[in-house]
Structure 1
Amino acid sequence: MTDDDMEVQSFDSVWDAIEDTPEEAANMRLRSELLTAVEQEVRSWGLTQAKAAERLGVTQPRLNDLLRGKIAKFSLDALVDLSARAGLAVKLGVERAA
């Protein structure tokens, strides 16, 4: 196959490229955004993992999964809960798809 034979695809996000459906991609985009926000907030606290986990009401291994970006281990609901426990306000925006 030559470069001329390859079709170039463009995606709005990495999730659109790797997920099977638009619904799965939308869920992963939201989860990714929340996981990143919580991870950054927790790191800003400057606490040990044990203290940060206690503050979030999770186990230290669970917090470690979050800090290491293991997104597959967190549902959207779990990330909304963790966001609230971290003192973050989660707002949802909805608009008609293009």
Structure 2
Amino acid sequence: MTEIERGSGNVYSDIGVPSPDEMLVKAQLAAEIGSILKARQLTQIQAAEILGMPQPKVSEMLRGKFRGISETRMIDCLARLGRDVQIVVKPAPRSRKEGRVEVVIV
């Protein structure tokens, strides 16, 4: 019988990737950027021009290779694509010792 293990909700943490929370945030931001580009039917060359980054970097980001791209840079990409990005800082509930970073796409 195959044993099934429940994931934590963060695949990067589950597979032991360094900085899993950061990677999850980047993955969510990259997915939203990719979704916008697809909806607008932009080529990677057109996207690179709008985003102000080289086409190979756009390609890497859309394929999940975003270690060399900061969250700030991805947020800038979303703004260039006409999205408002809001960062909200609030107290964590008392039930948790540490705060968390999450991406909410509306």
Output the TM-score relative to the length of structure 2: 0.67
Q: CA RMSD in A?
A: 2.8
The 1:9–1:79 alpha-carbon spacing in structure 2 relative to 1, beyond 3 Å, is same
Measure how far apart 1:13 and its partner are. 1.8
Give me the identity figure in percent. 27
TM-aligned CA deviation for residue 9 of structure 1: 5.9
CA–CA separation in structure 1 for the residues paired with 2:7 and 2:39: 35
Residue of structure 2 equivalent to 1:26: 21
| Match runs of 1:70-81 below 5 Å | 70-81=65-76
Compute the TM-score of the two structures, normalised by the length of structure 1: 0.71
Deviation at 1:38, TM superposition (A): 0.6
Unpaired segments ≥5 residues, structure 1:
none
2:102 alignment counterpart: none
Higher helix content, 1 or 2: 1
- Alignment of 1:12 with 2:9, yes or no, is yes
Distance 1:19 1:78, change over 3 A: farther
Distance 2:54 2:83 in 1: 20
Counting matched residue pairs gives 93
Cα pair distance change 1:61/1:11, threshold 3 Å: same
